[in-house]
Amino acid sequence: MNVFLEVLLVIFSVGLIVIVLLQEGKSAGLAGAISGGAEHLFGKKKARGMELVLERTTVILAAGFFIMAIVVAIFAK
């Protein structure tokens, strides 16, 4: 059981790394973080198409990763 959970955790972590690397950069350094961050925060630029799929997949994989990390830590005791 513990080995299965650890393998599942590795799958979630590798999937999360791949999805994050597939996404486009949102800013151009510090200047983009100051000026462009507010536009993204208040929703002026909505994600569409593949970008939306990547964002939602990132959220799902990140949540799965955190849940699996907690479950593996609990069962490791």
Q: Which tens digit of pLDDT belongs to each residue from 3-52? A: 999 999 999 999 999 999 998 876 655 555 565 555 555 555 566 888 88
Element (H, E) at 68: helix 50-75
Contacts of 9 (CB under 8 A, 6+ apart): 65, 68, 69, 72
Would you place residue 61 in the very low, low, confident or very high pLDDT band (cuts 50, 70, 90)?
A: very high
Q: How far apart are CA 77 and CA 74, in angstroms?
A: 6
Distance CA 35, CA 43 (A): 14
Whether this model's pTM surpasses 0.85:
no
Q: What pLDDT shows up at residue 63?
A: 96
Enter the tokens of residue 58: 């990132």
Give yes or no for a contact between 74 and 7, defined as CB atoms under 8 angstroms apart: no
